[in-house]
């Protein structure tokens, strides 16, 4: 619960989006996440199979999450990418972003992907540096309807 409270107190959007579900019914949240984690399961229209993983520190404190889209549809190709990760605000600048991105790249490699799309907001310098450090090559930028500029990076696996 402290993980969610940290995000709420920051006023930032929770990343990845799948962790925005109310955590009060943890089993329902886990069921929601597992219901769409493979091609063998019914996936709602407009969605793709995806898996969510959590990052814990040495003290077993939840510090981050990553959502991995197993393939891209049109929307994800233009704006969401294969990998969406977030580190709780109070735990940033401690190397966790690199750790979670490394694991995500290993998982996408195991899924058989040869390159992955990772995006971040233009102002998110920490995430941009992490993506570049792990091989991200800037392909393009786009502006969302709300004026937010998003940068698109490809990482060869």
Any idea what the CATH number is for the domain that residue 51 is in?
A: 3.40.630
127: in domain = no
The pLDDT of residue 11 is 82
What's the structural domain count of the chain?
1
23: in domain = yes
Domain that holds residue 62: 2-113
The pLDDT of residue 33 is 74
156: in domain = no
The pLDDT of residue 150 is 95
d(CA 32, CA 17): 13
Q: Is the peptide bond before 16 cis (omega within 30 degrees of 0)?
A: yes
104: in domain = yes
The pLDDT of residue 23 is 60
The pLDDT of residue 43 is 79
157: in domain = no
137: in domain = no
The pLDDT of residue 29 is 73
15: in domain = yes
The pLDDT of residue 78 is 85
42: in domain = yes
The pLDDT of residue 125 is 95
Low-confidence ranges of the chain (pLDDT < 50): none
If phi over 0 gives left and psi between -120 and 50 gives alpha, with beta otherwise, what is residue 18? alpha
Residue pair 92/57 in contact (Cβ under 8 Å)? The answer is no
pTM for the structure as a whole: 0.87
């Amino acid at each position: 619960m402290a993980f969610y409270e940290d995000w709420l107190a920051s006023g930032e959007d929770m990343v990845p989006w799948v962790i925005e579900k109310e955590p009060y019914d943890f089993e329902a949240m886990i069921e929601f996440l597992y219901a769409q984690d493979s091609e063998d399961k019914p996936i709602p229209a407009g969605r793709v199979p995806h898996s969510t993983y959590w990052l814990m520190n040495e003290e077993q404190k939840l510090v981050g999450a990553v959502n991995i889209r197993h393939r891209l549809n049109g929307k994800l190709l233009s704006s969401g990418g294969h990998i969406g990760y977030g580190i709780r605000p109070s735990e940033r600048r401690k190397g966790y972003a690199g750790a979670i991105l490394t694991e995500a790249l290993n998982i996408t490699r195991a899924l058989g992907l040869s390159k992955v799309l990772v995006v971040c907001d233009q102002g998110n310098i920490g995430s941009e540096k992490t993506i570049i450090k792990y091989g991200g090559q800037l392909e393009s930028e786009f502006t969302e309807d709300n004026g937010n500029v998003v940068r698109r990076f490809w990482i060869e696996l």
